[in-house]
Chain A
């Protein structure tokens, strides 16, 4: 009972962060929508103004296009952040591994750029949905990818491939480049076996013929594989 209460508390902590983040991203979108309409109105009025010189119009249109491009980029960030935040709404739900991974890769993009590490991903089409804990899957993927980003030398490459293997979803992470070796594991690596177990998944790592580290996470697409739900 005590453990159930602890689990519930942890779920509610996540849900609370998720709700606030989702609300914030919603507000950002509203501001962006207003900026976009105001920018659009400037363009409309400019095009209606027959006294303007064509050269002026072109210059203003270029500025307006630049603003619109930035709005589109910020709106995409809000969309991803909103999706990421809503993953914390439910402790168990049907979800797309592709969507969760795409969100996570997008959110880690900035850190990868700072580390000069390229992240490449490919997803098989028509992958079945899995029934599991969405935020736990996010966290598992983070526990795998974050240490790689921290330890990889510049100009490395992380290749993520997602496909189906029998009734499971297989995520293969190939680390092309040199990984720094530390005397101790990062806290994320230490946490990984436990979160993989809770997710009801299997995780393995090995070195390929080229000397690159490969990691494989296999999650069953069958319902109720999540160990917290069954135990």
Chain B
């Protein structure tokens, strides 16, 4: 069985690389991007991750805009927002947007909660693929 591919997108380099190492220890195949431009370039190059862990507040393009761009290319990629902002999805106004993140997790996050959410997001992606959705 192939590993779940996770893309961590966060401008806090130390956070992204440490989280990626911990996810790799837990059997995921993790890549890091430290800006949304690099993350989108990766996806444009059809290097599709299964799940994206995306920081909500990023320079240049915020998490919600990046989510829209990711979903344009491949709607089956699931995005989990990571945020230091209180209030979760309701506060970021995700329910009013065309696409919603799979979930929104508060920083600092618990690794077990995070891995559980990644697996749930992956299950949703697999279901969508089996229905023939996506690119």
Contact = CB atoms under 8 A, between A and B. Distances in A.
Interface of A: 25-27, 29-30, 32-38, 40-41, 44, 48, 71, 75, 78-79, 82-83, 86
A33 B15 contact: yes
Interface in B2-21: 12, 14-15, 18-19, 21
A214 to B, nearest CB: 33
Contact of B86 (A27, A30, A48, A82): A82
A199 B25 CA distance: 54
A41 to B, nearest CB: 5
A33 B12 contact: yes
Contact of B15 (A37, A71, A78, A82): A37
Interface in B24-80: 25, 57
Contacts of A38: 14, 18
Given A29-B107, A32-B107, A33-B107, A82 B85 contact: yes
Given A33-B12, A33-B109, A41 B84 contact: no
B113 to A, nearest CB: 12
A40 B22 contact: yes
Nearest to A32: B108
B90 to A, nearest CB: 12
Contacts of A44: 21-22, 25
Given A40-B111, A71-B108, A82-B86, A30 B22 contact: no
A38 B25 CA distance: 14
A68 B8 CA distance: 22
A41 B86 contact: no
Nearest to B57: A26
A86 to B, nearest CB: 7
A48 B22 CA distance: 12
A82 B57 CA distance: 15
A82 to B, nearest CB: 4
Given A29-B107, A29-B108, A30-B12, A37 B22 contact: yes
Nearest to A35: B108
Given A27-B84, A33-B109, A37-B19, 17 more contacts: A29-B106, A30-B12, A32-B108, A33-B108, A34-B12, A36-B109, A37-B14, A37-B22, A38-B14, A38-B18, A40-B18, A40-B111, A41-B21, A48-B25, A71-B108, A75-B106, A82-B84
B111 A30 contact: no
Contacts of A36: 108-109
Contacts of B15: 30, 33-34, 37
23 contacts: A26-B57, A26-B84, A27-B84, A29-B84, A29-B107, A29-B108, A30-B84, A30-B107, A32-B108, A33-B107, A37-B18, A37-B22, A37-B108, A38-B14, A38-B18, A40-B18, A41-B21, A44-B21, A48-B25, A75-B108, A79-B106, A83-B86, A86-B87
A87 to B, nearest CB: 11
The list of the 7 closest CB pairs from A to B, nearest first, reads: A29-B84, A36-B108, A33-B108, A33-B107, A37-B18, A82-B86, A26-B84
Interface in B79-97: 84-87
A45 to B, nearest CB: 8
Q: Which of B19, B86, B111 has the most CB of A within 10 A?
A: B86
Nearest to B21: A41
A79 B22 contact: no
Contacts of B111: 40
